[in-house]
Structure 1
Amino acid sequence: MAHFDIENLTFSYPIGGKESLSGVNLSIEKGEYIVLCGKSGSGKTTLLRHFKSVLTPHGKRSGRILFNGKPLETIGQREQAAKIGFVMQNPDDQIVTDKVWHELAFGLESLGCDQKTMRLRVAEMASYFGIQGWFHRDVASLSGGQKQLLNLASIMAMQPEVLILDEPTSQLDPIAASDFLNTVRKINLELGTTIVITEHRLEDIYHAADRVVVMENGKISAEDTPRKVGALLHRQKSEMFAALPTPVRVFYESGAEGECPLTVREGRNWLTETFRDRPLSVTAPDLEPAAAETEQPALRMKEAWFRYEKESPDVLQGVSFEVPAGSLFAVVGGNGAGKSTMLKAVCGICRIYRGSVEVFGKSLKKYKSDALFHNCLAMLPQDPKSLFVKKTVREELEEMCGDAEKRAAVADVCEITALHESHPYDLSGGEQQRAALAKILLTEPRLLLLDEPTKGLDSFFKQKFAGILKKLQAEGITIVMVSHDVEFCAEYADLVSIFFDGQILTTDTPRRFFGQNSFYTTAANRMSRCVFQNAVTAQDVTALYHINREGRA
């Protein structure tokens, strides 16, 4: 018997009228590992929320969902809570208590477990997930990665049969994301828990899937094993091909034959075997000119220190850096390192107690608040929902600007024209990012601060988003971006810095920066460094492959 049987499921939200799900049919067997992927707004999150009655969105629905052979709506909330676990995209949306140990026990308390059972399960989960070291800490003191791990452990304490994860690593740095997804895979393999997961970053989960399900416009467009889905998307020249792991894309774009590699290790073995005992004519792409200091930077921070409370440790510890005018400046680093705090210090939300911040050569202290945020500086926060105060996207844009022509131009650039009558909270994560970006662009900033701007964006729109950023650069706008998306930074940034121990340690061009790292680098670099040097994008590896193959012909 299948865990879930979805039969002809169709759904539309109250506002908008468009069907978010259209005739979806899907069967999920017990113990399967299912990866659900698709563009932003394709219906992935909407589908996942139908797997649990309490999360099912309000709207018009038809079709059936069976859980263990029974209609889902006939199964009580207690049984659903115990058997169907759900990890959301934002860990703060799910945490309900103030202490780690209480969060682990909360679900069991709600189920009415006796104290002996509760203590045993909490101890087991704390040990299994390595939480002992922060078992008694306040939840508010945890990093994003720790919060998400706590969410997972709290759910697993209830011993669910099915674990559903909706982009659980969108706010995690690459290393924390990899560790989290490895833990999910371990749960599937060792405990037999059925996994249904949706992710835009497929590098760490695509190869592990029993089946990959691709959604497009509310429908399932492909469903098969990872290798077969990769081959199908390549043959169809599908836009979703750009979302596949680097080894898959490099293999097909190189025109290679044989079995497609799915992991970095398999890709490395393929490249090694291809160029074994054969001289290479070109071993590395051209390096960009080394980063140089600029006389009049758009942003200069010098010896900036900041702490949230008088007795707490300093989050910023002498941060110093300069951002050349008109550049795309990316900052990477681990969760909780202080990157977002640094952005808040730039726009005055967090007031540094030592050091200085200069925007376009003028001290931050000399700006009046209205002058700073009009035709000067704007910030897109990590949670775009914090910017939404109206009932429709159209009203959000009207709040910022009375010029209809200007609003239409920005909406067109950010591709949200079709979303004008939708409630901002009904949009997918990627659509919310685009709507929030459109809203702040209406302030006509010359310095744009972006905190995790690619969070929730599919690979297809990331390319368009990069085009938007390059267009803004061409108009003279300087962009400072904090991001965990090393692949995006490697491909589109002009300069990349790493934030560690309360300060920016080094700044360089993408190939120079990522080419020398072992872990904080791209999949393309890890895969190809056995053969090529300083290749940090899939395009780099593909180009070098073609050059050397054609050189031997």
Structure 2
Amino acid sequence: MALLRFEKVSFAYPDAARRALDEVSFSMEEGEYLVVCGESGCGKTTLLRQAKPELTPAGARGGTVYYREQPLSEVPELTSAMEIGYVQQNPDNQIVTDYVWHELAFGLENMALPTHMIQRKVSEMASFFGMEEWFRKKTSELSGGQKQMLNLASIMAMNPKLLILDEPTSMLDPLAARNLLDTVARINRELGVAVLLCEHRLEDVFQRADRVLLMKQGGILADDTPENLTFALQRDPAASRIYLGLPGAARIFGELQKEGICPKGKKLPLSIRDARRILRELELPFENVEAENGMLLPGSGVEKGTYIERMQSTSTGATGGAKVSHREKKEAPALEASELWFRYEEKGKDVLRGLSLFLERGEFLALLGGNGAGKSTLLRILCGLRKPLRGKVKKDKSLRLAMLPQSPQALFTYDSVWEDLLDAARQGGQGDATDRAKAMAAKLELTDKLTSHPFDLSGGELQRAAIGKLLLQDADILLLDEPTKGLDAYLKQELAAILKKLTAEGITMLMVTHDLEFAASYADRCALLFDGRITSEEEPHAFFTGNRFYTTTAGLIAEGYIPGAITCGEVIAGCEAAYSRKT
């Protein structure tokens, strides 16, 4: 008996031009780990919400969803609440109480369980999730990763049979995301809870999933194992643009198979371990292999510059040539912060501790750091929404500044996407506002969403609309808080092309991001915010090389073989160069 079954389920939002779901049919068994993936706006979130009656959106629906072969509409509310758990994208949207211990107990209290049973279940969940140190903390004091872990623990306390997660790592830093996905895998493996997961970060989930549902335009394009789906997309990348978001190991060796460097038909690796094993078996004559414990030694490829220059000229997505610092040119920066100190409460903890940062004119700077490090706080100070306790922010008064907040809903004031884009185009004041708004909507693939209310959009669509509204304002300095959140790999490339064109025109950008691959591929400089200050800031190759956790998949695969390579394109180019020497 299937645990969950969709039978020709269709769904259309009010006034929508097309269906969000179009006769979707699939089933999943008890204890199965099923990943739903696809391009932004293909219907993933809509599909997941059909399996949780309390979150099903308003609209026209056809077909039937079954839970344990009973129509979901006939399942008792208490059964649905207890046995079908749902974790949303934004950790703050699900927390309803002030303290961690109370949040764990909240669902159990609503189930009217005896006090002793509530205490036992809360203790068990706190121990399983390692919450002892922050068990009595206020929920407002938690990092994003801790909040999402708390949401997961609160659901697990009710002993669900099906756990649904809608892009649960989209707002988490790389370490917190990995911890959360590891915990989900433990829940599936050790407790036998079925997992239905929607995620853009395929690197980690493909290694754990039993099956993958690939969606396209509201339908199921493929239903297969991660290995088989990866192999099929490698043979036909045009079938779905999520090919660009497949695990880096699979993309690298898929391309090497096409070039004849790696034997065709060989199983594509999904993990870094398997990728390094295959790389070792190829026995290619790599040069500049001068590294010890992951750290480049003097005289290695990065320091000489020859290797990286070659990679930048041959690989897709690599950053351009190094820029000359404004300090060397003795030019005033576009934006500069000096010795910033900040705390939210008079006797609270310092969030920023003497932080200094500069932005060159026309530079694209990526700011990384863990959840709760103070990245978003810094952006608010730079744009004037917050005042530092000490320190100064300097900006040329002639330069216009605009900011993309972490919650894009804050940017929308009208009842349709079109009205918001048109208003932004009018504020920009360059060219015909209507033409500019239409062009931006087409570029961001929002043409069929122009009549929709902004809050009816999916997470990725809302993010695209917010980015479009910001870009239409023609600002000279852009502060972007997680601009790639909710975007598929193809749309990230499209966004990168727009941003790089703007920097070439002299626009200055500071991007806060957890997307290491995006920062490595497109930023001019990367900086790490830790303990209230900038602890490291360098060109991407120097920044990521030698790191164990704050680095890219490509960098970990290439370590010891192709020093300094941090993108898939650079690893492929390095293998091609070695193969040409061999032959």
Shorter chain as denominator, the TM-score bin is: over 0.9
Matched, 1:94 2:119: no
Calculate the aligned-residue CA RMSD, in Å. 1.5
Which one is further off, 170-179 or 415-424?
415-424
**Contact map agreement 1:15 1:423 (CA 8 A) in 2:** no
Match of 2:391 among 355, 359, 372: 355
Gaps of 5+ in 1: 363-370
Q: Distance in 1 between matches of 2:437 and 2:169?
A: 33
Q: Equivalent residue for 1:404?
A: 434
**What is the DSSP-based 3-state SS (H/G/I as helix, E as strand, rest coil) of the residue aligned with 2:308?**
coil
Pairing of 1:46-65 with structure 2 (within 5 A): 46-65=46-65
| 1:314 lines up with 2:322 in the alignment | no
State the TM-score, normalizing by the size of structure 2. Answer: 0.90
5 Å-filtered alignment, 1:512-523, equals 512-523=542-553
Q: Deviations over 1:92-135 (max 9, x none)?
A: 11111111111000111111111111110000000000111111
Partner AA of 2:417 in structure 1: V
Residue pair 1:282, 1:548 contacting (<8 A) in 2 also? no
What secondary structure does 2:460 align onto?
A: helix
* Greater alpha carbon shift after TM alignment, 410-419 vs 16-25: 410-419
Which digits, 9 at most, give the CA deviation of each residue in 1:425-469, with x for residues without a partner?
A: 111111111111121223210000000111111111011110111
Q: 1:292: which partner in 2?
A: 325
The residue number in structure 2 matching 1:414 is 444
Q: Distance in 1 between matches of 2:100 and 2:193?
A: 24
Tell me the distance in 2 between the aligned counterparts of 1:307 and 1:291: 34
1:280 equivalenced with 2:302 (yes/no): no
1:345 and 1:413 map into 2 onto residues whose CA distance is 31
Q: Select the residue among 453, 465, 485 that pairs with 2:515.
A: 485
Which of 439, 457, 479 does residue 487 from structure 2 map onto? 457
Q: Measure, in 2, the Cα distance between the counterparts of 1:406 and 1:40.
A: 23
Distance 1:282 1:237, change over 3 A: farther
CA contact (8 A) 2:308 2:565 kept: no
Q: 3-state SS of the aligned residue for 2:269?
A: coil
Aligned CA distance change for structure 1 residues 133 and 250 (closer, same or farther; 3 Å): same
Write the deviation string for residues 319-354 of structure 1: whole angstroms up to 9, x where unpaired.
112111101100001110011111111011110121
Shift of 1:146: 0.5
Tell me if structure 2 keeps the 8 A contact 1:291–1:507.
Answer: no
Number of the residue aligned with 1:30: 30
Q: Gaps spanning 5+ residues in structure 2: where?
A: 290-300, 302-306, 310-320, 427-432
- Name the aligned partner's letter for residue 219 of structure 2: K
Q: CA deviation at 1:273?
A: 2.0
Corresponding residue for residue 250 of structure 1: 252
Cα distance between partner residues in 1 of 2:578 and 2:482: 37
What number of residue pairs does the alignment pair up?
539
Matching residue of 1:326: 362
Shift of the 291–51 alpha-carbon distance from structure 1 to 2, 3 Å rule, reads: farther
Per the alignment, residue 390 of structure 1 pairs with: 414
Q: How does 1:430-445 map to 2 (within 5 A)?
A: 430-445=460-475
Distance in 2 between residues matched to 1:400 and 1:542, nearest whole Å? 41
Contact 1:332 1:499 in 2 (8 A): yes
Aligned partner of 1:189 in structure 2 is 189
- The alpha carbon displacement at 1:293 in A equals 4.1
Equivalent runs, 1:1-80 vs 2, <5 Å: 1-80=1-80
C-alpha distance in 2 between matches for 1:290 and 1:269? 37
Q: Which residue of 1 aligns with 2:315?
A: none
Residues 135-174 of structure 1 mapped to structure 2, 5 A cutoff: 135-174=135-174
Q: Indicate conservation of the 8 Å contact 1:424/1:432, yes or no.
A: yes
For 2:203 and 2:99, the matched residues in 1 are separated by 33
Matched to 1:213, the amino acid is L
Residue aligning to 1:235: 235
**Partners of 1:407 and 1:293 in 2: how far apart?**
34
TM-score when normalising by structure 1? 0.95
Is the Cα contact below 8 Å between 2:167 and 2:197 reproduced in 1? yes
Contact 1:282 1:544 in 2 (8 A): no
1: CA distance between counterparts of 2:269 and 2:485?
A: 27
Pick one of 331, 335, 344 that aligns with 2:371: 335
**Secondary structure in 2 matching 1:517:** coil
Q: 1:381-437 CA distances to partner (integer Å, 9 max, x unpaired)?
A: 011112122211012123334432332233333332221101111111111111111
Deviation readout 1:149-191 (Å, 9 max, x if unpaired): 0000000000000000000000110011001100000000000
Whether 2:578 is the aligned partner of 1:545: answer: no
Match of 1:391, SS?
coil
In structure 1, distance between residues paired with 2:323 and 2:507: 22
1:4-51 alpha-carbon deviations (Å, 9 max, x no partner): 111111111002231100111111011110111101100000000000
Q: What is the letter of the counterpart of residue 156 of structure 2?
A: M
Contact 1:525 1:534 (C-alpha < 8 Å) held by counterparts: yes
5 Å-filtered alignment, 1:186-225, equals 186-225=186-225
Aligned partners of 1:412 and 1:44: how far apart in 2? 22
Contact 1:247 1:263 in 2 (8 A): yes
> Which letter maps to 1:123?
S
1:100 counterpart letter in structure 2: V
Code of the aligned partner of 2:275: G
Please list, as runs of the form range in 1=range in 2, the aligned pairs for 1:82-121 lying within 5 A after superposition: 82-121=82-121
Distance in 1 separating the partners of 2:37 and 2:444: 22
Q: Hey, what's the Cα distance between the residues in 2 that align with 1:409 and 1:58?
A: 30
Distance in structure 1 (CA, Å) of the matches to 2:448 and 2:527: 37
Q: Give the residue type in structure 2 aligned to 1:355.
A: G
